[in-house]
Amino acid sequence: MASEPGHEQSGQERSGGLQDVWPHATCYGCGPANTRGLRIKSNWSSDGSEVVCVFQPGPEHNAGFPNVAYGGLVASLIDCHSIWTAIATTYRAEGREHGSAPAISYVTGNLNVSFLKPTPIDRPIVLRARVTDLQARKAMVECSVYSDDVKTAEGKVLAVRYSQDKSVGASSQTG
């Protein structure tokens, strides 16, 4: 499934992503300005039905077993990718250009991850997410994680719309 057309277009190796509209964002998982973070890149699939992310884990993401990703990494990827799925879907639903002001921000209200199989670190991880319910102040997102064609995890995220502008990054919001 991961090799289906339209599911290969985002990832760390690609320069562009939905997150790039917030160049000063400092989130550990998705902030372009966080040089020590994961810096995921999410994009709409070619048919526009879901948001896709490709992430290549490194040896530092090992869970202590040979070729197995740390569960916290998988959960973080689901979390950030799902939040960006909510953001991008909301921009579309409101008929606004992605990234236009005022910024649409979400925070995680609930994250539920089911680990189905070990996720290998020697190949790219593919995340595919879609909003299943969009309301004024919240979005429900379902995200599946794949290694090759094998689903290794799935997550459900309650994304809560937040009035503070997350696009400016943490250093802009402190003292």
CA distance 7 to 171: 34
What percentage of the chain reaches a pLDDT higher than 70?
89
The mean pLDDT of the chain is: 90
- Compute the distance between CA of residue 20 and CA of residue 22 in angstroms, rounded to an integer: 5
- For 24-62, the pLDDT digits (tens) are 999 999 999 999 999 999 999 999 999 999 999 999 999
Confidence of residue 10 (pLDDT cuts 50, 70, 90): very low
Alpha helices in the chain (DSSP H): 71-93
pLDDT tier for residue 172 given thresholds of 50, 70 and 90? low
pLDDT at 165: 83
Return phi, psi of residue 128, to 5°. Answer: -130, 125
The answer on pLDDT for 169 being more than 90 is no
Residue pair 106/160 in contact by the 8 Å Cβ criterion = yes
Q: What structural domains does the chain harbor? A: 18-172 (3.10.129.10)
- Say how far apart CA 94 and CA 119 lie, in whole Å: 36
Q: What are the tens digits of pLDDT across the range 55-72? A: 999 999 999 999 999 999
Confidence of residue 2 (pLDDT cuts 50, 70, 90): very low
As a residue count, the chain comes to 175
Phi and psi torsions of 41, nearest 5°: -125, 120
